[in-house]
Amino acid sequence: MHGQELQPEVEKIAYILQDPRPLDAKQSELVEAAEAVAARAVEAGAASLAALLPAELAAQLPAELRRGAGSDPNAAAGSAGYAETLAPYPDAAAPAMLATNQAAAEVDSVRGAMAALRTALEALACNADASQDAVLRLNARDARTGLARRLDQLSSATVASTDPQVAAALDDSVLLMEELESLSI
């Protein structure tokens, strides 16, 4: 990952380092350019920013930019970096955590659709202007369609979840849909 794809960022860092201004005056520009390269370093799994730059540029960088994140401040440039300081992620927990996060996101989506439907129903119930009735009914139907779509898009894991919050949200959504059906909107 050292070659052509980093060339613009490397050239920008070289330009900033060669700028005759004192380091304090160009520090924010240098950090910004280094962050762009560091983002690529993270994507590529490099241990430090210095590992991605040509040696002559890496030597000119301030020490805090040469070190990998999480490395010892007294360590040499290109040391172990952040990758070795992270605790290994237990593989067995990853699918469960993913399922939990997915269920939470899906339930949040359902709750948002439920809130939109309740708002539309309240607007319809509070309406005193007959000319607005058709528009408010259309809004309620659209909100109902949105909630129905969210319910149809739920994963089987979310539907089968034993989490009481998930079950409560799904029960509330079913009750709200039944209430809406009774209003024949």
More confident residue, 166 or 78: 166
Instruction: Name every residue whose Cβ is closer than 8 Å to that of residue 36 and which is 6 or more positions away in sequence.
Output: 9, 12
What token pair was written down for 46? Answer: 């490099």
CA gap 179, 184 in Å, rounded: 9
CA gap 66, 48 in Å, rounded: 7
The percentage of the chain sitting over the pLDDT mark of 70, rounded to a whole number, equals: 67
CA gap 13, 40 in Å, rounded: 14
Position 65 confidence tier, pLDDT thresholds 50, 70, 90: low
Nearest to 81, CA basis, from 45, 56, 32: 45
CA gap 156, 24 in Å, rounded: 56
CA gap 141, 161 in Å, rounded: 28
When pLDDT is averaged across residues 35-46 and rounded to a whole number, the result is: 68
When pLDDT is averaged across residues 7-23 and rounded to a whole number, the result is: 77
Per-residue model confidence as pLDDT tens digits over 77-110 = 444 444 445 555 555 556 667 777 888 889 899 9
What token pair was written down for 13? Answer: 């860092």
- pLDDT, residue 91, reads 58
- pLDDT, residue 16, reads 79
Whether pLDDT at 48 is above 90? no
